[in-house]
Amino acid sequence: MHIVPELELFHLCRNKIKILDAGALEPLLGYLQSSDLNLQEYAAAAILTLSASSTNKPIISVSGAIPLLVKVLEEGNPQAKNDAVMALYNLSTIADNLQTILSVQPIPPLLELLRAGKRSSKTADKCCALLESLLAFDQGRVALTSEEGGVLTIVEVLEEGSLQGREHAVGALLTMCESDRSKYRDLILNEGAIPGLLELTAHGTPKSRVKAHALLDLLRNSPYSRSKLQPNTLENIVSNIASQIDGEDRGGKAKKMLAEMVKVSMEQSLRHLQRRASFA
Q: For the chain, give the percent of residues with pLDDT over 70.
A: 74
Alpha-carbon distance of 90 to 266, in angstroms, equals 42
Cα within 13 Å of Cα(138), Cβ side: 2
Reply yes or no on whether the pLDDT at 189 is more than 60.
Answer: yes
Alpha-carbon distance of 200 to 251, in angstroms, equals 10
Reply yes or no on whether the pLDDT at 178 is more than 80.
Answer: yes
| Separate counts of helices (H) and strands (E) for the chain | 19, 0
- pLDDT score for 54: 87
Confidence of residue 23 (pLDDT cuts 50, 70, 90): confident
Task: Yes or no: say if 222 and 230 are a contact pair by the CB < 8 Å rule.
Answer: no
Q: For the chain, give the percent of residues with pLDDT over 90.
A: 64
> What is the residue-averaged pLDDT of the chain?
82
Cβ-based neighbour number of residue 64 at 10 Å: 13
Cβ-based neighbour number of residue 214 at 10 Å: 16
Between residues 146 and 53, the one the model is more confident about: 146
Q: Which domains does the chain have, with CATH numbers?
A: 1-98 (1.25.10.10), 105-280 (1.25.10.10)
Which range has the worst mean pLDDT, 14-23, 70-79, 200-209, 230-239? 230-239
Cα within 13 Å of Cα(215), Cβ side: 33
Q: Is the dihedral of CA 277, 75, 63, 11 positive or negative?
A: positive
Average pLDDT over residues 61-82: 96
Specify the length of the chain in residues: 280
Phi and psi at 146, nearest 5°, equal -75, -20
Cβ-based neighbour number of residue 3 at 10 Å: 14
Alpha-carbon distance of 263 to 255, in angstroms, equals 12
**Residue 263 CB contacts under 8 Å (≥ 6 apart), including other chains:** none
Q: Is the dihedral of CA 206, 98, 57, 27 positive or negative?
A: positive
Residue-wise pLDDT tens digits, 231-245: 444 445 555 554 544
Fill in the amino acid letter for 111: L
